[in-house]
A and B are shown apart, each in its own frame.
Chain A
């Protein structure tokens, strides 16, 4: 490689690497740094307190609560859009559904909306006095219904997950539909000739053939669920009284509402390490699958 080519490679890489460095690496290192301090965000005279912030999470019941909520969030935000998207794809791919393309577009549309818009739409749907959900329940049961879905600790997190899944399902559906086009018709026909019923064909022929699509859907769902902060912020902001605090939301509230920037940084470091572990495990699994399937 001549010097000319080297220069251009370096020159063209400087811009993206600098942006990445300034907006990703630098803040990340800053978080590590502040996680060992008692900084409140305003006062420049903070102290280094070693691992005190990290030791504190062990006894902080709100941290434990946020961890549990994060687990619930990640599991459901993975399962619901994946299973829902798969069900829709299988249904819409069958020839029995007339106007399938129209339905495909309708189910895909929510993914085109920002999480803020989706959050606001669902805030209205869940509104206890005149929201769509309670109005529907009233119409079906004939009884007045005023349950406050987002204001009750037992339902707030799950209500947000439903809104999240509603949006994400369209993406999973499209990927599964693409995967279904790769399922050879002669395989399903052969299964039919062998006497397999619809369920057996789906379970033994179609689903195994959808493995590559499933890998993509799961990867996207995991990554998207880890990013799921905006919709929570709009719909509940972690409330009522921490019942929908995920780690990211908890970190935000501790840092910016309680002015515990050092502690918030420690939580963000923990969140970062957890995310790293999940991604590492995922890629290791992916490599294993690649090795098995060539």
Chain B
């Protein structure tokens, strides 16, 4: 019997190791660490972040434990971690309604004190600080980079088609599309397989016709998808599809497929965020020589000029075990101008840091920055402007529309049914 005791202990220890000893999250971490989960899992983004985290470790002596997850999987992954009370110290998230959703759930720690102590008011562009960082009267988000959606085109295709001036109004845009099509070039590539790439069309068409105030109401559930304003925007979109200006089978392509079509010259342009420049640069294309962009044209008179895009933010979870280190990391990531430069170049992002030297940008990105600066309003793109459950209804509607534009009034009615449920209308 004496002999069996060590074996008994070993067996029980083994059972414990299999069940309780897996190292569940929430266990205290060693000092000098900070955990971060983010969706910058692409090759260029990861390489850029590794450089930045190494800089942070050198400067502050704090080790960054990094766990990147693919963009689409991140949305579910972070929810699972929140549900399990196992959020990392810091995680990336999109400013706007998605962050509001997490704030309302009480999963985040406010950073007002840190923001003031680090003087971030003088670091972060005021428009971004006002629009992207405050939720329910407190500050929660540090912007890390942001993007602008514009009409990115293949310069050679446009030059070959004899296009020297780019449209600033709707008639000019329609004329450009007609001209390109007549010359055998498909004017617009769209890859809406993952649905979200189609949202920029809806965003700009609605913003340019009904204006930012109406759109804000729609996003908040205070206007209806069956309103004439929404129908008018969709009717314009339909005109473009019916005229054959979009590449066929948009729902079969991802955004990179559509970008590749433009890069190869199979299509002339695509409405996309500035991350496309990071993608194209990574594939050896040269800003200005191989690609450029123009702003989405004006449509209705007297409507304020709005630009659309997402803001990538960083948040600290409410129960972060390494809160002080997390604050240190967030302050560093937005304040360190060299890191911001690395990030802008790796990701094709615009920097929220007002002190960043514009020489870090390509000529195209400098013009994108100017476009944002000249705009009356910076609006979050659709799936960041409305609540995540509502965005699901809307994004499906866009993909459905691309499959069968003629049915858009019915699709809008279905979307409004979803809105009634989501907003309790």
A interface residues, Cβ below 8 angstroms from B = 4, 7-8, 11-12, 14-15, 18-19, 22, 40-45, 127-129, 146, 148, 150-153, 239-242, 252-253, 256-261
Query: Which listed residue (B19, B82, B252, B392) contacts A127, Cβ 8 A?
Result: B252
- Given contact pairs A44-B106, A256-B75, A261 touches B83 in the complex (Cβ within 8 A): yes
Interface residues of B in 371-391 (CB under 8 A from A): 388-389
**Which A residues are in CB contact (< 8 Å) with B195?**
239
Asked if A41 and B15 make an inter-chain contact with CB atoms under 8 angstroms apart, the answer reads: no
**Which A residues are in CB contact (< 8 Å) with B104?**
42-43
Query: Which listed residue (B8, B19, B107) contacts A42, Cβ 8 A?
Result: B107
Asked if A151 and B251 make an inter-chain contact with CB atoms under 8 angstroms apart, the answer reads: yes
Give the interface centre of B4, B12, B252 by most chain A CB atoms within 10 Å: B252
**Which B residues are in CB contact (< 8 Å) with A241?**
396, 399-400, 403
**Which A residues are in CB contact (< 8 Å) with B15?**
11, 14-15, 18
B31: min CB distance to chain A, Å: 29
* Nearest B residue (CB) for A39: B83
User: Bound complex: CA of A45 vs CA of B106, how far in Å?
Assistant: 9
- Which 7 A-B pairs have CB atoms at the shortest separation, nearest pair first? A42-B105, A43-B105, A151-B252, A148-B252, A256-B76, A151-B251, A18-B19
Asked if A7 and B8 make an inter-chain contact with CB atoms under 8 angstroms apart, the answer reads: yes
Is B360 engaged at the interface, CB distance under 8 Å to the other chain?
no
A167: min CB distance to chain B, Å: 22
Chain B, residues 1-22, CB within 8 Å of chain A (1/0): the string is 1001000100110110011000
Q: Tally B residues with Cβ within 8 Å of A.
A: 34
* Nearest A residue (CB) for B1: A4
Asked if B251 and A258 make an inter-chain contact with CB atoms under 8 angstroms apart, the answer reads: no
Asked if B18 and A128 make an inter-chain contact with CB atoms under 8 angstroms apart, the answer reads: no
Query: Which listed residue (B102, B105, B107, B252) contacts A150, Cβ 8 A?
Result: B252
User: Bound complex: CA of A55 vs CA of B15, how far in Å?
Assistant: 42
- Given contact pairs A18-B18, A128-B249, A153-B403, A11 touches B76 in the complex (Cβ within 8 A): no
23 A-B residue pairings within 8 Å (CB atoms): A11-B8, A14-B11, A14-B12, A14-B15, A15-B15, A41-B79, A41-B83, A42-B79, A42-B82, A42-B104, A43-B105, A44-B106, A45-B106, A128-B249, A146-B249, A148-B251, A239-B251, A241-B400, A257-B388, A257-B392, A258-B388, A259-B79, A259-B389
User: Bound complex: CA of A15 vs CA of B82, how far in Å?
Assistant: 28
A21: min CB distance to chain B, Å: 8
Asked if A260 and B389 make an inter-chain contact with CB atoms under 8 angstroms apart, the answer reads: yes
- Given contact pairs A4-B4, A151-B403, A241-B400, A15 touches B14 in the complex (Cβ within 8 A): yes
Query: Which listed residue (B11, B19, B389, B392) contacts A12, Cβ 8 A?
Result: B11
**Which A residues are in CB contact (< 8 Å) with B423?**
none
B interface residues, Cβ below 8 angstroms from A = 1, 4, 8, 11-12, 14-15, 18-19, 75-76, 79-80, 82-83, 101-102, 104-107, 193, 195, 248-249, 251-252, 388-389, 392, 396, 399-400, 403
Asked if B83 and A15 make an inter-chain contact with CB atoms under 8 angstroms apart, the answer reads: no
18 further interface pairs, Cβ-Cβ under 8 Å (given A128-B249, A151-B193): A4-B1, A15-B18, A19-B19, A40-B101, A42-B79, A42-B83, A42-B107, A43-B105, A146-B249, A151-B251, A151-B252, A153-B403, A239-B396, A241-B403, A252-B76, A257-B76, A258-B388, A259-B388
**Which B residues are in CB contact (< 8 Å) with A257?**
75-76, 388, 392
Asked if A152 and B18 make an inter-chain contact with CB atoms under 8 angstroms apart, the answer reads: no
A125: min CB distance to chain B, Å: 13
**Which A residues are in CB contact (< 8 Å) with B12?**
11, 14
User: Bound complex: CA of A241 vs CA of B76, how far in Å?
Assistant: 19
Asked if A146 and B11 make an inter-chain contact with CB atoms under 8 angstroms apart, the answer reads: no
- Given contact pairs A14-B15, A15-B15, A153-B403, A41 touches B248 in the complex (Cβ within 8 A): no
Query: Which listed residue (B4, B11, B82, B403) contacts A41, Cβ 8 A?
Result: B82
